[in-house]
Chains A and B, each alone.
Chain A
Amino acid sequence: MFLEKKWLMPRRTFLKGAGVMLSLPLLEAMGKVLPKASPEALAGTSPASAVQAPVRMACIYFPNGVWEKNWFPKEAGADYEMPFALEPLAKHKQDMLVFSGLDKKHSHGGDGHYAKTANFLTGLLVRKTAGKDINVGSASIDQHVAQRIGSHTPLPSMELGIDPVISGIDSVVGYTRLYGCYISWRSATTPVAREIDPRLAYERLFGVIRPKTASADRLANEDKRALLDYVLEDANSLRRRLGRDDQYKLDEYLDSVRDVERRLEFFSKPDPRVWRPNIETGLDYAAPKGAPGDHQEHVRLMLDLMVLAFRTDSTRVSTFMFANDVSGKNFASLIPGTSSHHELSHHQNKPEKYEPYSKINPGTPSNSRISWTSSKRFAKGTRRCWTTP
């Protein structure tokens, strides 16, 4: 009912053969029953004879909350009626758990959205600041996991998004807007840069440094590593001298350097991965172009990339943000009657506001995509966590 024709239009997708590839009995071959999330399974180091697809973790965030009345099932237990907002996921009801009561107590204080978004994956107190002393309490859960199992894949984790980072201060509530732009935090005070350009995200996955070419490079790997260490130091010292609005640009640079370092490191050692995807890393796909102007297309590409990252076992941890918090994206062309997402989210229990608002979560292509994603693209074993911020 929400799948209007528009969303089913053929896409200029780079994942051309994906449908075919995914119909391969990959999952069946790997066994239907998932192992418990033992450390071995998490790390993908179970004995090869009993190899299961590794357990993955995807954290997907959308801004501006939900209309709870049609988000949470009314009944507890397995036999519940699919609430309106989750209807696109109806097919997966049996594989899915909906949690309620996960309200973050530290989000109760603090005005506005920021105290709820920045700690989406930390659950801790977000320090109220105009940018001087950003703090979200700790590293985020995805980064904790990445630190534990990240060494098993070329990328410890992959952070994706749609909107560019915005800085500055939200003068209504006195929080820096940066808080609304990040859910992944390397530490309590440093967000992890995210990729919003599909092309660059693709390159990050399947960059220049690969196992086959690494040794053929003219520059010796040790030299490269020394160079990268040097620029990391440079970037760190430069970052300290820059202003709030500029620092996150240096963070992007720093994260990129770390990324390259990691890849060098990874491919200079024997590949620790036991589970083998039955597709060649990246090479089967044409690289996507830059960010498409179209929002729906952009979201689909980014989610495709997340799936691609999992399927090639390039990473096992990924986060995605549909938009920055307080996003005023207008979905009127998809869901007639809606206007600025943020504005509607402050519905004051007025039907003329919450009715269109409540349609955005299930009704935007982005979220119908969750269903599409989970039905077709995610290999089983992927743990998805999305909750209402």
Chain B
Amino acid sequence: MMRAATAFAASEEEFTKEIRPILEKSCFECHGPEKHKGDLILTTYTNYTQVTEARETWQKVLEMVQAFEMPPKGKKELNFGDHGKLLRWLRRLPKPERPDCDQIASDRTANFYKGYVMSRRLNRAEYHNTMRDLLGVELHLEHLLPADGGGGEGFDTSGNALFTSSIHIEKYLAAAEYALDAVLPAKPVTLDPKFEQARSRILVAVPSRKLPPREAARRIIGAFARKAFRRPVTQDETERLLGFFDRGQKRSDRFVPSVRLALTAVLVSPHFLFLAEPEPGKEGVHKLGAMPLASKLSYFLWSTMPDEELLGLAESGKLLDDEIYRKQVRRLMHDPKAQALGERFALQWLDLDRLGTEVRPDAKAFPEFDDKLSESMRQEVVAYFNYILEKDRPLLDLIDSDYTFVNERLAKIYGLTNASESLQKVSLTDRNRGGIVSMAAVHASTSFPLRTSPVLRGKWLMESFLGDKVKPPPPDVPALEDSGSAVSLSLREQLERHRTKSECASCHDKIDPLGFGLENFDVLGRWRDTDRGRPIDAQGTLPSGQTFTGPVGLKNLLMERKDDIMKHLVRKMTGYAFGRELNQFDQCVVDRTMETLQKNDYRASVLIEQIATSFPFRHRFYPKQD
């Protein structure tokens, strides 16, 4: 009681002696009873209690001061010291209670607002998919482009991390030329039926006696640009593109090559290459327009451009209707194109996209491992993830289930029979299999080239699956191989010796036991009972004293922590969808999605729907502009 009273008295004194004089000097002239600019009167707050009773008002004051919007330039500007003092005081005030889920970070709401790039270029995979859907043929153009790095929450959908360099421009030019050459060859030749189809899809008009060439070209170019730009194209834009057609015609190129030049221009335009979210011209938090929303949704769920239905709904503005939008979210997630989520999201989330390139078992020790097997391993994860989405299965299947997807190559690894050449769903009887952690892609990705690594596997389980943070090892710690331990020791003995050092133990006591749960799987994910003549000891004891044995034990343990795993998945997919790092305001989306998942049996559709309909997904903050 006493302490509270003293604290209150201190706050009171601070307000009257320190803060109010600053307000008086810099704010009262405009925000007093006479001018009351912005309907804000600050003069009436004469004591601290009154301040705490008007939390919303003072929150607004905080936002304005924080963003250096108030006091306005040239008017009673605050000096550095006063600004800091006032800001620190405003930040300490009790916060208004508001539903956080309807907020996003901005200059005003976030201290140290970093800003996010929301208009970003297509990443390599999206470029490939978009070209495929635009032209209607598969051309594997992604190999022509440089690889993209990850950013934000670790995905290549993060605007901040998608750079454009001159090499991109050169490659976009080359790729556009290559692709259009395939479907619209300059000289009339007989095309493969697929390409013929693509060609006629693009050439929506032909010059005739009634239709002059320029008009035919206008229709073709207009239709193509609308799809490519994912929005209606203005007359002016079409006219500018027709300039390229004219250019060709002038030097007496034929009709198709002339059109083609204009289409090349479309394919290197930033309107095609960037997912732009233009400004509404007014600062603040705004609902995304229908066109950018359509693109955002389709690039989230399909990694490609909107189809005709979605584009049409956006053009008519109907997409902004809540019910219609929800229907589209459901339609898109059940469309085969949503398989992109397995390939694009799941592999990046689980850090399995490096398998076969950066991570590779030793070729001599594991001659079975080739590109085909590596691809099969990854495709098992992709197919499994997509099956859960497609059938709206509980996401807990990711932790454990009695089915998986195998082809011949994988069946051999898993000791299964009757597999077909392509990936097929099979039922599992062995409880050791089933769930992501029992998949070969995980085992191979978390091994050294020559041996398994309980440390890498434990770290993967913690970081990629459970969402725990693992501290990097302190500097100058020798790797296990170099630490001079006797070769005669088993891996477990070596690791145990390593854990006797206290600086190692604090982390490795958590990491290693989890990894030992997977020791029965060799580098390629094959079951083994012995390693170099020694029996496998797949028991793990956690710092809590809890013990478990083998994959079954590990999966039971993971099931006990299912909400950690689910929460991590939610965070990751939210980061993937938003294309940026998550911030404090996104936490609400994560929490709400978790609650809804728990109430709905962890159905996969809930995850997608919650993210796609969330406030931050559908809104943007636009900073001040000229």
Interface, chain A (partner B; CB < 8 A): 111, 130-133, 164, 166-174, 177, 195-197, 199-201, 203-204, 207-209, 218-219, 223-224, 226-228, 230-231, 233-235, 238, 241-246, 248-250, 252-253, 255-257, 259-260, 263, 290-291, 332-333
Contacts and interface: CB of A to CB of B under 8 A. Distances in A.
A203 B149 CA distance: 16
A375 to B, nearest CB: 28
Contacts of B113: 168-169, 171
Contacts of A230: 240, 243-244, 265, 269
B168 interface: yes
A245 B116 contact: yes
A121 to B, nearest CB: 22
24 contacts: A130-B68, A164-B161, A197-B165, A203-B165, A203-B167, A208-B167, A208-B170, A209-B170, A218-B177, A231-B269, A234-B271, A238-B274, A238-B278, A242-B119, A243-B118, A243-B623, A244-B623, A245-B117, A246-B276, A249-B120, A249-B164, A252-B165, A255-B166, A291-B149
B147 interface: yes
Contact of A171 (B112, B116, B169, B278): B112
Contacts of B269: 230-231, 234
B625 A244 contact: yes
B626 A133 contact: yes
Contacts of B121: 249, 253
A246 B165 contact: no
A347 B265 CA distance: 55
A244 B261 contact: no
B623 A227 contact: no
Contact of A132 (B160, B171, B261, B624): B624
A303 B161 CA distance: 22
A374 to B, nearest CB: 27
Nearest to A224: B173
A223 B166 contact: no
Interface of B: 66-68, 80, 83-84, 87, 107, 111-121, 146-147, 149, 151, 159-171, 173-174, 177, 181, 240, 243-244, 247, 261, 264-265, 268-271, 273-274, 276-279, 475, 620, 622-626
A245 B118 contact: yes
A242 B120 CA distance: 11
Which applies to chain B's interface (DSSP): helix, strand, loop or mixed?
A: mixed
B166 A238 contact: no
B270 A256 contact: no
Given A171-B113, A224-B173, A253-B164, 7 more contacts: A227-B264, A238-B278, A245-B115, A246-B120, A249-B164, A256-B164, A332-B475
Contact of A238 (B67, B84, B115, B276): B276
A132 B118 contact: no
A364 to B, nearest CB: 15
A223 B261 contact: yes
Nearest to B170: A208
A252 B220 CA distance: 31
Contacts of A200: 146, 163, 165, 167
Nearest to B622: A243
Q: Interface centre among A166, A172, A242, by most B CB within 10 Å? A: A242
A168 B112 contact: yes
Nearest to B161: A164
Contacts of A223: 247, 261
Contacts of B625: 132, 243-244
Contacts of A259: 166, 169
Contacts of A207: 166-167, 170
A172 B274 CA distance: 33
A218 B179 CA distance: 13
Contacts of B68: 130, 169, 171, 174
B289 to A, nearest CB: 11
